[in-house]
Copies of this chain bind each other. A is one copy, B any other.
Amino acid sequence: MITIKDIARAAGVSHTTVSRALNGSPLIKPVTRERIAKIASDMNYVPNYSAKNLVTRKSNTIGLFFSSIEQGTSSSFLADALKGIRRELDEQYMLTVSGIDDPGSLDSINPRRYDGILVMSQSELDNRFIYHVQSAGIPLVVLNRQLDDPSIPNVASDDRVGGHAAADHAWQCGHRLIAIIEGKPGFKSSSERRLGYMDSLIAHGLSPNPDYFVPGDYSIESGYAAMNTLLDLKNRPTAVFCGNDDMAIGAMNACFDRGVQIPGEVSLIGFDDMIFAQYTNPPLTTIHKSVSEIAAEGTKLLLRRMEQPDAEPVQRLLGSKLVQRRSVANLINKDGD
């Protein structure tokens, strides 16, 4: 393995000069810089990051931590997230991926090992981990879940505008009886989505019907149950906004089991745009949140924060947008689309 000293010898300069040349120091005459760069590349030099990191007291490593990597839910996130992160991350950085629950995850968190940490969070259970990271003094950005604590940099999709968009779409398609199957109680995403939904209703002069708020917990089963109670109502809604895609699947199954046509008799809107949303029957109209965009934005934030640890923590919400597929009937020009 060749080192800067080898290059120095070949170039007839000191290894210090080589180091400076290779790192673009302004102290080196451009002509020698070029010469050294050429020699280095001719010799196939690759820097030893261990040595580099030892002296600079960095790790050149960004850690991505996933909550509940065990659960299938997060599957599609991972690839998207990585894509977004890589897009923003200089090639010099290593990106490691671990589950928050992985054994030893907590202990291995220290500033020596990570220059910065991204947490792709899905639930409040992650808070313990998040605060551990923060108290270890490692630059941190929490992704994907909206946080209350303003001291933690955070980027997530705007659940409220998402809920709003969902209800708006139903309205624009002519629906006036619009129900909601709510997410897990206590989760910020649940309340934000409901808030958005109500915003829209109120904006359109619809008064919320208590029967049309039915609880769920983000699971398929809860969606199934919730849909059944909606279908049992004397005045059924014509459209149902499901707090996430999983519950929308459950709702679909309930309709299917009772022979209720989608979108003929009832329209369904999901939230999250998980990969399977395009494969359901009919394909699910849902709110797309761009995980890769969130991840990319979060990475930018993290990098900035690594440079200026004392800057004000930023919280960003990225717009979510509706992707129209075939689970919502258009009541206005009567073609079921």
Contacts and interface: CB of A to CB of B under 8 A. Distances in A.
Interface of A: 1, 46, 48-51, 53-54, 59, 61, 66, 69-70, 72, 74-76, 78-80, 82-83, 86, 91, 94-99, 102-104, 107-108, 110-113, 249, 252, 256, 275-276, 279-281
A48 B112 contact: yes
A74 B79 CA distance: 8
Contacts of A80: 75
Interface of A is mostly: mixed
Contact of A279 (B50, B78, B107, B249): B249
21 contacts: A46-B112, A48-B54, A48-B112, A49-B112, A50-B59, A54-B54, A70-B83, A72-B76, A75-B76, A75-B78, A76-B76, A78-B78, A78-B82, A83-B99, A86-B99, A94-B96, A95-B96, A95-B98, A252-B281, A276-B276, A280-B281
Nearest to A63: B94
User: What is the copy number of this chain in the assembly?
Assistant: 2
Contacts of A66: 79
Nearest to A279: B276
B79 A98 contact: no
A11 B79 CA distance: 48
Contacts of A78: 75, 78-79, 82
Q: Which 9 A-B pairs have the closest CB atoms?
A: A276-B276, A91-B104, A50-B53, A50-B54, A281-B281, A78-B78, A75-B76, A75-B79, A276-B279
Contacts of A112: 1, 46, 48-50
A61 B94 contact: yes
Contacts of A1: 111-112
Contacts of A91: 103-104, 107-108
Contacts of A107: 91
A97 B82 contact: yes
Contacts of A51: 50, 54
B113 A49 contact: yes
A223 to B, nearest CB: 12
A51 B49 CA distance: 10
A275 B79 contact: no
A336 to B, nearest CB: 15
A61 to B, nearest CB: 7
